[in-house]
C-alpha cells in the first residue's frame, strides 16, 4: 500500500513520528505540494493524505490506483469530494481532535483582553514598577469576568467547551444556533444573532463556513455591538468581512478583536486587519498543540484502519 502525505510539515514539523501511518504501508511524506504538482507527486498512491494542499478533480484523475483520501483536519473544502465520490473514493476527515486546544486559545484571548498580561509584563521589565511610589499600579483597565456576558455563535463541541468555561468563571452565557431544540444546555440562554451581538461583552465565533455564514460578521452586525465589547474568532476567517471589522476598530465602534484565522492564509500584507488597532492576531495556531496534533495523527491512522477493514469512518462524501 503506497501512502502519500502532501503537506506533512504543518501537522508534523519534526516533533512527532509518522509510525501510526507507516504501519499501513510504504509512506512518502512531502512537506508541501503545490496544487499543480499533486497528480504527479501522488501518481502511485493508493492512500492520499492532505491537510491544506488542494486535491482537485484533475489531480484525482491522474492517480489511477487511488482508493482513499484522508483529510488531516476537520474542514475538507480543499478536496473535490464530488470527483472523489464519482471514482468511489471515500474522503475521511478528523472531527473533534482540537476541541480542548481551540477552547484554550479562545480563553487565552479573553484573559489577555481583561488583564493585558503581556503589556504589563513589558512595563515591569522597562522599570515602570521600580519607579512607582506604590506597591501596585495600572488598575484602570482591569476587568472581572464574573457577571459579564459571553455570546457564543455556534454550539458544537468547541463552542460548548468555551461556554462551559465561561459558566465556571461566573459569566452569563448566551448562544445563537440554528435549532435550539437540539441542545440540552443548562446555564445557556438561546437568543437571536442580533440579540447576541447587541448584548454580549465578548462574542466568540464557533460556526462552520457556509454560503449563509460567509462574511456574516459585517458592518451591520458589528454596529449592534457595545463599544466596550470584543469579538473573538477561532473558527473560520471568512466568517468576518475583514474591511468592516478593521473600520469598526479604527472608528472605536468596538473595543477590540482577537482572531486566529483570516480569509486568506498566509494573509497578503494589505489585509486591513494587520494594521487595525486593538486587534490581536495569531497565525492559525489554536488547533496545533502537540497533544492535539498527536490526536489528529492517531485518529487519521484509525480512519485508515477502518477503511482497510471495510468499515470506513468519518466519511464526508
Q: What is the largest CA-CA distance in the chain?
A: 75
Same domain, 270 and 157: yes
For residues 103-124, give the mean pLDDT: 96
Same domain, 52 and 177: no
| CA 66/CA 179 separation, integer angstroms | 39
190 pLDDT tier (thresholds 50, 70, 90): very high
pLDDT score of 139: 86
For cell 466568540, name the residue: 204
- Supply 14's cell numbers: 519534526
Same domain, 114 and 262: yes
pLDDT at 184 over 90: no
Mean pLDDT across the chain: 97
Same domain, 113 and 257: yes
In a domain, 317, yes or no: no
pLDDT tens column, 238-289: 999 999 999 999 999 999 999 999 999 999 999 999 999 999 999 999 999 9
pLDDT tens column, 83-98: 999 999 999 999 999 9
In a domain, 132, yes or no: no
Same domain, 55 and 108: no
Q: What is the CATH number of the domain that holds 25?
A: 3.40.50.720
pLDDT score of 199: 98
Name the domain count of the chain.
2
For residues 204-226, give the mean pLDDT: 96
Same domain, 89 and 103: no
Same domain, 264 and 294: no
- Active-site positions read 236, 265, 284
pLDDT at 140 over 90: no
Same domain, 89 and 65: yes
- Supply 245's cell numbers: 471589522
Same domain, 166 and 232: yes
Domain containing 64 equals 2-97+290-308
In a domain, 313, yes or no: no
pLDDT at 159 over 90: yes
Same domain, 195 and 72: no
Same domain, 80 and 165: no
User: 233: part of which helix (H) or strand (E)?
Assistant: strand 230-233
Q: What per-residue string of b and e applies to 271-293 under the rule 16 or more CB within 10 Å gives b?
A: bbbeebeebbbeebebbbbeebb
Same domain, 107 and 247: yes
For residues 34-53, give the mean pLDDT: 97
Amino acid at each position: 500500500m503506497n501512502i502519500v502525505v502532501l503537506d506533512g510539515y504543518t501537522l508534523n514539523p519534526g516533533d512527532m513520528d509518522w509510525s501510526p501511518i507507516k504501519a499501513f504501508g510504504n509512506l512518502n511524506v512531502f512537506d508541501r505540494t503545490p496544487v499543480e504538482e499533486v497528480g504527479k507527486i501522488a501518481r502511485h498512491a493508493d492512500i492520499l493524505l492532505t491537510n491544506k494542499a488542494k486535491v482537485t478533480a484533475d489531480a484525482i484523475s491522474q492517480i489511477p490506483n487511488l482508493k482513499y483520501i484522508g483529510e488531516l483536519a476537520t474542514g475538507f473544502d480543499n478536496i473535490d469530494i464530488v470527483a472523489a465520490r464519482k471514482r468511489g473514493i471515500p474522503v475521511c476527515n478528523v472531527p473533534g481532535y482540537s476541541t480542548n486546544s481551540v477552547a484554550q486559545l479562545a480563553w487565552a484571548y479573553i484573559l489577555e483582553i481583561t488583564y493585558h498580561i503581556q503589556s504589563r509584563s513589558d512595563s515591569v521589565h522597562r522599570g515602570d514598577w521600580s519607579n512607582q511610589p506604590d506597591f501596585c499600579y495600572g488598575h484602570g483597565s482591569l476587568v472581572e469576568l464574573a457577571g459579564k456576558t459571553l455570546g457564543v455563535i455556534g454550539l458544537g463541541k468547541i463552542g460548548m467547551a468555551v461556554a462551559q468555561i465561561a459558566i465556571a468563571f461566573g459569566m452569563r452565557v448566551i448562544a445563537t444556533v440554528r435549532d435550539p431544540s437540539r441542545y440540552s444546555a443548562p446555564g445557556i440562554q438561546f437568543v437571536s444573532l442580533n440579540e447576541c451581538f447587541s448584548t454580549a461583552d465578548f462574542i466568540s465565533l464557533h460556526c462552520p463556513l457556509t454560503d449563509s455564514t460567509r462574511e456574516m460578521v459585517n458592518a451591520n452586525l458589528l454596529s449592534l455591538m457595545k463599544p466596550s465589547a470584543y469579538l473573538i474568532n477561532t473558527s473560520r476567517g471568512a466568517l468576518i468581512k475583514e474591511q468592516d471589522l478593521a473600520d469598526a476598530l479604527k472608528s472605536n465602534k468596538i473595543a477590540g478583536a482577537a482572531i486566529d484565522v483570516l480569509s486568506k492564509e498566509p494573509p497578503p500584507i494589505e489585509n486591513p486587519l494587520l494594521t487595525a488597532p486593538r486587534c490581536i492576531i495569531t497565525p492559525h495556531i489554536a488547533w496545533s498543540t502537540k497533544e492535539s496534533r498527536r490526536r489528529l495523527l492517531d485518529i487519521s491512522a484509525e480512519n485508515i484502519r477502518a477503511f482497510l477493514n471495510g468499515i470506513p469512518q468519518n466519511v464526508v462524501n
